[in-house]
Amino acid sequence: MNTSLTEEQQLIQDTARQFAEQELAPVAAKHDIAPDQTLFLSNLKQLAELGFMGLNTNADYGGTEAGTVAFSLAITELAKSCAATAVTTSVTNMVAEVIQAVGNEQQKQHYLPKICSGEYPAAGFCLTESGAGSDPSSMRTSAVKDGDDYILNGSKIFITSAEFAGVFVVWAVTDKDAPNGKGISCFLVERQTPGVIIGPAEHKMGQKASPTNEVIFENCRVPSSALMGKENQGFKVAVTELSGGRIGIGSLALGIGLAAMDVARSYIAERKQFGQTLDKFQGLQWMLADRYTDLEAARMLLMNAASLKERGKPFAKEASMAKLFASEKANSACYDALQMLGGYGYIKEYPLERFARDVRITSIYEGTSEIQRIVIARELLKELN
């Protein structure tokens, strides 16, 4: 695989890095203590204007059409400065890709320009339920046909950006008698639709500026035109798009891990103990070498998965491998970086304690590390046939 970047990919990476350093880094700690939604939304709007909300969306619909590799690079750079902004950007791109892949022409023309332009500050991916997390096929949210409409009832939990999403992609059971996963359909539901209720933001360990909410549907009536794709064929759409989302979350984890190690590297080069700087101690040198090696390996796994997706090749196994490895190694990097700072790593004067909290969720959402191992093993065994 050629790992050199195209001119466009390099430009997107550089632009994301500059924006993150200039606009996100100075306010990330403030957002962690007391999220400023006005400022957060302003930064999302600027990212949309720069083309970052439709990185893999066709230009005909207002997208950048830069591809999955560029998307991964951008999310990593944003995450180095603000994981909350990075996850919102990742999920919004994910929703745009679902609509582009499954929606009809009218749906794409109506929703994609609003997402890409920032008219919708974000978009929501409504799949997880309280009894259907790692097993989304067990969902209970229903969509019952009523004349030319569907009536949705149920709730989705842990929905990123629900408070300011303009549209949700919602999965619901349309055939309750079908086996799990066989009677599920996919709908586009606008935020202002009567019957859509957004619950209070969850009090989270990290990534606090990005609100995570329950989305409740109470006799929510949507027209038949809200159905995406074929009725009862929506679950395979969710499975496919989760694979793409895993590239985004792996990239996010990589960015946080790199940011943590960069802080630790600078610190040990300056901090003195026993008459010399900490970087002269072999134990810390080895920690530095091991973690940067891990993160470089994670970057290569992510680039491979992104490249396969971009070329239209099967990528589910590779995306799970990349997400599993990147998220686990980024967690290790953040905790080792905190350890390298000693007591300073534990206080808010340095960002390590925030990085450690922000990175923890990356091994959980878009499929836990345990689920990734199941996906990887399943794909490996399938190859025998």
Which regions of the chain carry the CATH code 2.40.110.10? 124-232
| Annotated catalytic residue 366 | yes
Closest CA to 62 of 77, 49, 73, 46: 49
Give one word for 13, left, alpha or beta, with left for phi > 0 and alpha for psi -120 to 50.
alpha
Tokens of 249: 């979350």
Q: What is the pLDDT of residue 271?
A: 94
Q: What is the pLDDT of residue 381?
A: 96
Catalytic, out of 163, 241, 328, 366: 366
Tokens of 42: 């302003």
Which residues are registered as beta bridge partners of 212?
A: 160
Per CATH, the homologous superfamily of domain 124-232 is Butyryl-CoA Dehydrogenase, subunit A, domain 2 (2.40.110.10)
Strand segments, DSSP code E, in 248-350 are 272-273, 276-277
Q: What is the pLDDT of residue 132?
A: 86
CB 170 within 8 A of CB 221: no
CB 354 within 8 A of CB 348: yes
What fold does the segment set 7-122 form as a domain? Butyryl-Coa Dehydrogenase, subunit A; domain 1 (1.10.540)
Residues in the chain: 385
What are phi and psi for residue 370, nearest 5 degrees?
-65, -40
Q: What is the pLDDT of residue 181?
A: 82
What are phi and psi for residue 348, nearest 5 degrees?
-75, -5
Beta-strand relationship, 149-160 and 212-223: antiparallel
What fold does the segment set 236-382 form as a domain? Butyryl-CoA Dehydrogenase, subunit A; domain 3 (1.20.140)
DSSP 99-124: HHHHS-HHHHHHHHHHHHHTSSSEEE
Task: Per residue of the chain (385 residues), give pLDDT as tens.
Answer: 667 899 999 999 999 999 999 999 999 999 999 989 999 999 999 999 999 999 999 999 999 999 999 999 999 999 999 999 999 999 999 999 999 999 999 999 999 999 999 999 999 999 999 998 888 889 999 999 999 999 999 999 999 999 999 999 999 999 999 988 889 999 999 999 999 999 999 999 999 999 999 999 999 999 999 999 999 999 888 888 889 999 999 999 999 999 999 999 999 999 999 999 999 999 999 999 999 999 999 999 999 999 999 999 999 999 999 999 999 999 999 999 999 999 999 999 999 999 999 999 999 999 999 999 999 999 999 999 8
Residue 132 DSSP code:
B
Which regions of the chain carry the CATH code 1.10.540.10? 7-122
User: How far apart are alpha carbons 53 and 38 in whole angstroms?
Assistant: 18
Closest CA to 317 of 235, 254, 383, 384: 383
**pTM (2 d.p.):** 0.96
User: How far apart are alpha carbons 123 and 93 in whole angstroms?
Assistant: 8
Which regions of the chain carry the CATH code 1.20.140.10? 236-382
Q: What is the pLDDT of residue 310?
A: 94
Residue 331 DSSP code:
H
What are phi and psi for residue 6, nearest 5 degrees?
-75, 170
DSSP H helices in 56-197:
68-81, 83-102, 105-117
